[in-house]
Amino acid sequence: MKKGMLMLISVVVLLIVGCSTYRPLTASTQFPADGSKYKILGRVETKKKVDKSGYTLLLKEAKKEYPEADDVVNIVIDSYEKPGFFGKSYRYKMSGIAIDYID
């Protein structure tokens, strides 16, 4: 009986997790015009709740990975929707390219 209940719970959890998907929300994929005035540091990514996301948090994440980062460009935001027992929860996955402006 205990094994059957554990199996049932496992199947329900797998079905709920299997229904979550990422969906493109918006993209701003432009680099500054003059490529000789900046150095590309690398890609950064953060996943946050919808009400706790934004460019400033993405820049903060970029500065953690690359302390010399001045800006994040080529930003892509994906929406993540996860069904649950008490409704859906929403998160944003934000990614972009960290750059350092050359003086």
Give the pLDDT confidence score for residue 59 in this predicted structure. Answer: 93
pTM here? 0.66
Query: Residue 66: which pLDDT band, with cuts at 50, 70 and 90?
Result: very high
The DSSP bridge pattern shows strands 71-84 and 38-49 to be unpaired
Cβ neighbors of 17 (< 8 A, separation 6 or more) are 82
Rg from Cα positions in the chain: 19
Tell me which of 41-45, 49-53, 56-60 is least confident.
49-53
The residue type at 68: E
Q: What pLDDT is attached to residue 48?
A: 83
Determine the average pLDDT of the residues in 56-85. 89
- pLDDT (mean) for 28-43: 82
Stretch 37-62: mean pLDDT: 89
CB environment 56-95: b (16+ within 10 A), e (fewer): eebbebbeeebeebbbbebbbbbebeeeeeeeeeebbbbb
